[in-house]
Chain A
Amino acid sequence: MDDLVWIFANASVINNFTLAYFLGLCPFFGVTNRIDTAFRLGVANLFTLLITSLSATLLDRYVLVHAPYLQLISYIVVIAGTVQFVEMAIKKLSPALFRALGIDLPLITTNGAILGLALFQSSKGYGLVQGLVYALGAGVGLTLAMVIMAGLREEIEFAPISKLLRGVALNFFVAGMLSLAFMGFAGLFAKG
């Protein structure tokens, strides 16, 4: 049984979903050209993660004990439904954000971080509260990584860099450095 602080730190920084598990790289590279879009998509992801965690716990407890072979299919269907719900909520609450996010919103469904969360929390045997803390950590971690990445990219835009490096390759270099920096969080809770 892991305690909640460890779960949160583990999901958010020590094993950041994007920088250590490589989950959700498409939106990570796709929307991180501006800080505010990155932050908002991060928050949308956070909500999706929380709802998914809750649904996955309920599924595990009431459906999958009887039909374990439905795990993957039921998770992905629930995620698709959740994303649809978040999409409708955003459309209602903030039409401007809805337009700004565009295609990235429905694509949350194929964001590996969401399905990864459901699978990891189930394989780690987390209960309801642990699962929610894990989802919160993962969401905060995703948002943090995306916002830092967007900040770096906004700065790099005006830096004198070879034309060959510009574009995807440069993004990978920056992400690599960020991933290296996040490794510094390792060992945060094993001390003492």
Chain B
Amino acid sequence: MSHDNGPSLWSTFSAGLWRENPIFAIVIGLCPTMAVTNTVTNALVMGVATAFVLMGSSAMVSALRKVTPGPVRITIYIIIIATFVSAVDWALAALLPLAHKQLGAFISLIVVNCIILGRAEAFAARNPVLPSVLDALGMAAGFTLAMLMISTPREILGSGTLLGLPLFGPRFEPWVIMVLPPGGFLTMATELTILAWWRHRSAERQALAEAT
């Protein structure tokens, strides 16, 4: 990724969106993905908070990459990340108290989201500031996209609402299990299976096209 005339800025951004999507392709950063996806609103707030932390810490790590001594770099990354997370935590508590109450400790737990430390170590530490921020933005967008893909069916089936607005008539009996913890695992499992099937099918088609 870090050749001299490396990939274009667009492809740096778009990698995280789908091809290297942190949730569906690399399967990291799972804790918040499952824990806060019982409603779409929670997933969105979590996505924005994570995006802020990811971009801020990537920019800092990248800007300081020439003066960060190797042996203590992880400690410094963690200090940077924890600082951003604390700031986001208080900002949310001050500005959006209801959303903050819903997400609870999971805002603080962004610190241990593997995506953030992973991007700091794998990308931001070896690239200039602009690509690092774009990479962070792409990863955060991919993360949010994945959380939306999980939270939308969970909220629609589990509460019969979308963004808090009722979708069905009063006779709709919600699948309560979908908003409970098992629903998170099962939704994720179903979507991973669909993705595997889709990849399998396109691989088969490609093989067929090459053969003819």
Partners in one complex: yes
Give the CA-CA distance A19 to B185 in the complex, in Å. 9
| Shortest Cβ distance from A19 into B: residue | B181
Is A119 in contact with B109, judged by CB distance below 8 angstroms?
yes
Is B180 in contact with A173, judged by CB distance below 8 angstroms?
no
Number of interface residues of A (CB under 8 A): 40
Number of interface residues of B (CB under 8 A): 39
Give the CA-CA distance A126 to B185 in the complex, in Å. 30
Is A168 in contact with B27, judged by CB distance below 8 angstroms?
yes
| Shortest Cβ distance from B83 into A: residue | A73
Give the CA-CA distance A177 to B184 in the complex, in Å. 11
| Sample of 14 more A-B contacts, CB < 8 Å, known A19-B181, A22-B34, A173-B189 | A21-B35, A23-B35, A24-B31, A71-B86, A73-B79, A112-B112, A164-B193, A168-B27, A169-B192, A172-B185, A172-B192, A175-B185, A175-B189, A176-B182
Residue B46 is within 8 A (CB to CB) of chain A in the complex:
no
Q: Which residues of B in the span 96-138 have a Cβ within 8 Å of any Cβ on A?
A: 104-105, 108-109, 111-112, 114, 117
Is B117 in contact with A115, judged by CB distance below 8 angstroms?
no
| Shortest Cβ distance from B117 into A: residue | A110
Residues of B within 8 A of A151 (CB): none
A25 in complex: contacting residue of B31, B75, B89, B182, CB < 8 Å = B31
Overall SS of chain B's interface: helix
| Shortest Cβ distance from A115 into B: residue | B112
Is A115 in contact with B189, judged by CB distance below 8 angstroms?
no
| Shortest Cβ distance from A106 into B: residue | B74
Contact A164/B112 with A172-B186, A175-B185, A179-B181 known, Cβ cut-off 8 Å: no
A-contacting residues of B (Cβ < 8 Å)? 27-28, 30-35, 75, 78-79, 82-83, 85-86, 89, 104-105, 108-109, 111-112, 114, 117, 177, 180-186, 188-189, 192-193, 196-197, 200
Residues of A within 8 A of B184 (CB): 22, 176
Give the CA-CA distance A181 to B185 in the complex, in Å. 13
Residues of A within 8 A of B197 (CB): 164
| Shortest Cβ distance from A176 into B: residue | B185
Residue A90 is within 8 A (CB to CB) of chain B in the complex:
no
B189 in complex: contacting residue of A69, A71, A172, CB < 8 Å = A172
Is A110 in contact with B185, judged by CB distance below 8 angstroms?
no
Contact A72/B35 with A164-B196, A173-B189 known, Cβ cut-off 8 Å: no
Is B189 in contact with A183, judged by CB distance below 8 angstroms?
no
Is B185 in contact with A116, judged by CB distance below 8 angstroms?
no
A72 in complex: contacting residue of B27, B34, B86, B181, CB < 8 Å = B86
Is B186 in contact with A173, judged by CB distance below 8 angstroms?
yes
Contact A165/B193 with A26-B114, A80-B75, A111-B112 known, Cβ cut-off 8 Å: yes
Residue A123 is within 8 A (CB to CB) of chain B in the complex:
yes
Is B111 in contact with A76, judged by CB distance below 8 angstroms?
yes
Residue A120 is within 8 A (CB to CB) of chain B in the complex:
yes
Is A22 in contact with B196, judged by CB distance below 8 angstroms?
no
| Shortest Cβ distance from A177 into B: residue | B182
A105 to chain B, nearest CB (A): 15
Q: Which residues of A in the span 61-109 have a Cβ within 8 Å of any Cβ on B?
A: 69, 71-73, 76-77, 80, 109
Give the CA-CA distance A175 to B189 in the complex, in Å. 9
Q: Which residues of A in the span 158-181 have a Cβ within 8 Å of any Cβ on B?
A: 164-165, 167-173, 175-177, 179-180
